[in-house]
Structure 1
Amino acid sequence: MAVGLTTVLFLLFITQVVGTVHGVVYLSPSLQKQESYHQIHWRCNNTVKIASRDSKGKVYYPNSAYKGRVELFPNNTLKISSLQKSDSNTYWVYLEDDVGKEHIENILLTVYDLVPKPTVNAKVIRGGSPLCDAMLECSVGLEGVTYEWIRLSKPPLQGPGTSEWHVSFDPSIEAYICKVSNPVSSNNATLTYRHPCSWTGESSAAAFCTTTSVLVALGHLLLLLLTLA
């Protein structure tokens, strides 16, 4: 072995971190020591250098898609702001001590969208007596989400983890909640059944309320006009 070569200590630790689009995330090495490292630099995908600090403590942010969105703290934590889906990647941190030993760690960052309010709908397969047979549908237009159907009854019934749920029953009124989740957020919407086989989603209910409010306002206006006449 050649003498005088810098000794490299390769210790690989993998950590998983999640963030939200437009949010902020902090990537912190687990290899923290009380004394400061001689030099440090962060890379994305082990190829694009995005932040570094030299032996004199000066911090550099090379030109990249991250410039203006990253900040390197004295404790070697890297802050990334204004997250984008494209920021999902593996981030490598190289920590070099004062004798030239390099400690390496990587962090897997996954950036998710916030889950919007689901769109719910019911397709009636067979209506009327004796049973209402329908397929409940729920969607948010995102990948990487999980679906959960919950029936608001006694006892509560939890549906399968899919975007559709086949139901067949004959109660007077029944409500079903579709809950959609990912690792950073969740949202839900309700479908309400009324005998014999009609369904109302939250968006439909909101539209109905708006229409009702308009009709009430028109009624007040008509009454005012009759009074003035």
Structure 2
Amino acid sequence: MAVGLVMVLLFIVQAWAQHDPAQVVGAVHGVAYLSPRLQNQTYPQIHWRRNSSLKIASRDSSAKVQYPNSTYKGRLELFPNNTLKISSLQKNDSSTYQVYLEDEAGKEHIETILLTVYDLVPKPVVNVKVIRDDPMRCEANLECSVELEGVTYEWINPSKILLAHVGDSEQRVSFNPSIETYICKVSNPVSSNSTLLTYRHPCSWTGESSAAASRTTTSVLVAVGLLLLLTLA
């Protein structure tokens, strides 16, 4: 009984694996190639669909190729090996695509490919919040951000060793007076970008993309509060 159950479960797992769609990633304005696994066999008729319903490309037995959907006008190319090329990618091209391969006996083989289109990562914006500022030690939070979802953050020190809290957009640092450079690297599956932050004694910071990185200190906030109290008095 147990052996029979194991065999059934194994069959289900294998069947699921066979139907697990291939995955392709692309960048906005870039190119994606959707390639079927079966390319060593000739199929008299094939066609590509989006979400199993919208036909976007086809080739009949006379080798005539058609692209019936205007949304992809001028952006598709169907190759002899049944690979579909999509150019000038847009974010809304992200979807599941099916290729229907029909042999001479009329039997149809279907493959599914998942396409995900990503924006290129822009240059990160960096910001510094100083926590402790005295002649012997500078302690600060280094902040890094981009206006994109689905990205990962890395903070790298001058020796190219990853700092703590890998994947966080914020990194706390503490060190003795010296000149140090830190790199914020932001990545997604198709691109990455980075920005440098340079520290100089006693606790000043210069960002690569600006004359000076934004900075907030506890002492400045306290001074502003005292000034308001004196004004009110």
Output the TM-score relative to the length of structure 2.
0.78
Match of 1:158 among 160, 163, 187: 163
Displacement after TM superposition at 1:188 (Å): 0.8
Judged with a 3 Å threshold, the aligned counterparts in structure 2 of structure 1 residues 156 and 71 are, in CA distance, closer, same or farther, namely closer
Are residues 1:31 and 2:31 paired?
no
Whether the 8 Å CA contact 2:29–2:89 is kept in 1: the answer is yes
CA distance in 1, matches of 2:55, 2:23: 20
RMSD: 1.9
Displacement after TM superposition at 1:77 (Å): 0.7
Bigger mean CA deviation after superposition, 47-56 or 124-133: 124-133
**1:113-192 superposed matches below 5 A:** 113-153=119-159, 156-160=161-165, 161-192=167-198
Judged with a 3 Å threshold, the aligned counterparts in structure 2 of structure 1 residues 157 and 145 are, in CA distance, closer, same or farther, namely closer
Deviations 1:44-100 (A, max 9, x none): 111211001112211111133112211111111101011001001111000000001
Q: What letter corresponds to residue 15 of structure 1 in structure 2?
A: A
CA distance in 2, matches of 1:97, 1:150: 54
Q: What letter corresponds to residue 162 of structure 1 in structure 2?
A: D
Output the TM-score relative to the length of structure 1.
0.80
Displacement after TM superposition at 1:132 (Å): 1.3
Number of the residue aligned with 1:46:
52
Structure 2: give runs of 5+ residues left out of the alignment: 1-17, 214-233
CA distance in 1, matches of 2:134, 2:20: 61
Displacement after TM superposition at 1:140 (Å): 1.5
Number of the residue aligned with 1:20:
27
Q: Secondary structure at the match of 1:16?
A: strand
Number of the residue aligned with 1:196:
202
The runs of 4+ residues in structure 1 deviating greater than 4 Å are none
CA distance in 2, matches of 1:37, 1:13: 22
Displacement after TM superposition at 1:156 (Å): 3.8
CA distance in 1, matches of 2:212, 2:141: 22
CA distance in 1, matches of 2:212, 2:27: 29
Bigger mean CA deviation after superposition, 58-67 or 103-112: 58-67
Displacement after TM superposition at 1:187 (Å): 1.1
Deviations 1:142-168 (A, max 9, x none): 111100001114x84523211111112
Judged with a 3 Å threshold, the aligned counterparts in structure 2 of structure 1 residues 206 and 195 are, in CA distance, closer, same or farther, namely closer
Judged with a 3 Å threshold, the aligned counterparts in structure 2 of structure 1 residues 145 and 159 are, in CA distance, closer, same or farther, namely same
Whether the 8 Å CA contact 1:151–1:159 is kept in 2: the answer is no
Number of the residue aligned with 1:212:
none
Number of the residue aligned with 1:6:
none
Q: What letter corresponds to residue 23 of structure 1 in structure 2?
A: G
